Amino acid sequence: MEEFAALLDALVYTTSRNRKLALIAAYLRSQPDPDRGWALAGLTEGLNFPAVKSSTIRNLMMERIDPVLWALSRDFVGDTAETASLLWPGPEDAAPQTPLSLAEVVERLSDLTRATAPKELADLFDRKDAKGRYALIKLATGGIRVGVSARLAKTAFAQAFDVAVEEVEEYWHALVPPYAELFDWAADGATPPDLAGVPRFRPFMLAHPLEDGEIDLSDYAAEWKWDGIRVQLVRTTNHEGRAETRVYSRSGDDISATFPELLGALPVDAVLDGELLVRGSAQGGEAGGAASFNALQQRLGRKTVSAKMLKESPAFVRLYDVLLCEGTDWREAPWKLRRATLEALMPHLPASHFDLSALVEADDFAHLARIRESARDAAIEGLMLKHRDSPYVAGRKAALWYKWKRDPLLVDCVVMYAQRGSGKRSSFHSDFTFGCWDGDPDAGAELLPVGKAYTGFTDAELKQLDKFVRQNTLNRFGPVREVKRELVFEVAFDSVHTSKRHKSGIAMRFPRIHRIRWDKPAHEADKIAALRALIKD
């Protein structure tokens, strides 16, 4: 447990992704089973101890400290777990005890009931220092939040044992903490875990951006790139005859609970690749199309979904590909065969929950380019180009699939605020907030912020920008500086939507700095009205 507490503490203060990976990998290599498996579960939020809530901790403290002192401390620290870890009064005469392993702590936490939790937790707290108590409370109440995503933890695992992260992803959802089979396989070379009967995730096939040059349409098929979220739908029947369906996101996260309407919709065992969308009229044109990404966003990230949401914004999947179907693994087969299989499957799938991503037919590449240009109105992201003979392979493989995004939209904005970056960029002002005019700048119009971006410039440009910020600061608010309204950015973005969160009433998707217009006077930057005209909600 001490080692886990030290790991959490180190992760709290580390901003560099590589250093985080190295810390977790070193921990996983050095710690015994099953401790390291429990640690991995803790980091990926795979643990749940229902008997311990934040209120359990607070009540425990109330018995030991004056409520006014508690409230003042909690207000200052801003985090219940940390406040409790700092304030816990150690026992007067602590007899030395053998330290508990992480596995022992997890076992004791699992055995807790609402009735036994206070006394047992107090005993555990007594055995630890502030750092140990912090780790313990975070572990027990869930939500460790040390800037480590599940994906990062899996990457660290792969790095620790020199295995492919795609393979780790494959096994991950089939196993439960402390992932003994996973460690046996990766660390000790045992046979890989048995995954029969488990609706597990298969790594996605991804596309390279089409940079330049033409491709031959007799080799490549084209289809729309829809603006939803890429999902994998997996249905498996186990040896007891029970079927289970799961929905996985592109990162391999299980998002089944967020989209319950899909879980009973697939009538056959299969693994399907598609775009998750909600019903609306913005994408796909005619009736039965999809709403804009903005509408889908309302449904993302929820653990429970209300009946009202299910009714108003039902989800469906626009299918791209088939990986497995009724016992046959199609991944080695060429795309054209998989496409035929998918088309043959469609009549068996309920139209309420599935449709097929149509192919885009074009006479030649130039014709396709024209079709792509007109795609703006359909509010879709661009085109996908898939080699007709391509197998379905994990990750990005050259020359098999290309994504050919629409050219981005461009707008000229004026820099208003700059903030220091983090990590390597902590001494540079690298995060910029920019605005557009709310009327005629020569007639007294004002700038309203329309977006924020921190990519799209070179290191040399970053230095110049930093210098500009320092020489043109009007006001300082902590790490943020307000600058003179002088510098124009040509900002590229994918789309623009209405937003109540911003005073300008709009929000951009994927804004990035396309060009720095040192030459352009600020009053020639664009007006909000120009951006508003591009809204396709």
Partner 1 sequence: MSAPFAWIRPEPWGIHIVPADTWVDPSRAVPRALVTHGHADHARGGHGETLATPATLAIMQLRYNTQAGAVPVDYGESIAIGGGVRATFLPAGHVLGSAQILLERAGERVIITGDYKRAPDPTCAPFAVTPCDIFITEATFGLPVFTHPPIGEEISKLLKSLSENAEGSVLVGAYALGKAQRVIAELRAAGHHDTIFLHGAMEAMCRLYEEQGVALGDLRLVSDAPSKDAMRGAIVLAPPSALNDRWSRRLPAPLTAMASGWMRVRGRARQRGVELPLVISDHADWNELTTTIAAVNPQETWITHGREEALLRWCQLNQRRARALALVGYEDEDD
Binding site for partner 1 (CB under 8 A): 12-15, 65-66, 68-69, 72-73, 76-79, 82-83, 86-87, 420, 422, 426-427, 466
Q: Which is nearer to partner 1, 78 or 347 (CB)?
A: 78
What 3-state class would DSSP assign to 414? Answer: strand
| Least Cβ distance, residue 455 to partner 1 (angstroms) | 20
Q: What are phi and psi of 462, to 5 degrees?
A: -60, -40
DSSP letter (8 states) at residue 282: E
Q: Which is nearer to partner 1, 76 or 477 (CB)?
A: 76
Q: Which is nearer to partner 1, 249 or 473 (CB)?
A: 473
| Least Cβ distance, residue 67 to partner 1 (angstroms) | 10
| Least Cβ distance, residue 227 to partner 1 (angstroms) | 35
| Least Cβ distance, residue 460 to partner 1 (angstroms) | 14
Q: Which is nearer to partner 1, 146 or 310 (CB)?
A: 146
Sign of the dihedral through C-alpha 388, 391, 392, 397: negative
Q: Which is nearer to partner 1, 145 or 503 (CB)?
A: 145
DSSP letter (8 states) at residue 254: B
C-alpha 147 chain-centroid distance:
12
| Least Cβ distance, residue 465 to partner 1 (angstroms) | 13
Long-range contacts of 164-167 (CB under 8 A, 24+ apart): 166/203, 166/394, 166/395, 167/192
Query: Which spans in 63-161 are helix H?
Result: 67-77, 80-87, 102-110, 117-126, 130-141, 150-161
Give CA–CA dist 198/201, Å, rounded: 9
Q: Which is nearer to partner 1, 136 or 295 (CB)?
A: 136
| Least Cβ distance, residue 139 to partner 1 (angstroms) | 16
Give CA–CA dist 441/526, Å, rounded: 10
Enclosing H/E stretch for 460:
helix 459-471
| Least Cβ distance, residue 75 to partner 1 (angstroms) | 9
Give CA–CA dist 72/55, Å, rounded: 17
Task: Respond yes or no: is residue 403 known to be catalytic.
Answer: no
**Set 138, 154, 225, 386: catalytic member:** 225
Sign of the dihedral through C-alpha 290, 291, 293, 299: negative
Give CA–CA dist 315/262, Å, rounded: 8
Triad 380, 381, 386: Cα angle to 5°: 110
Residue 75's CB is within 10 A of a number of other CB atoms, namely 9
Q: Which is nearer to partner 1, 26 or 394 (CB)?
A: 26
Q: Which is nearer to partner 1, 66 or 93 (CB)?
A: 66
| Least Cβ distance, residue 15 to partner 1 (angstroms) | 7
Residue 126: name the closest of 83, 81, 82, 96 by CA. 96
Largest Cα separation within the chain, whole Å, is 85
Beta-strand pair 480-483/473-477: antiparallel
Q: Which stretches does DSSP call E strand in 258-300?
A: 270-283, 290
| Active-site residue list | 225
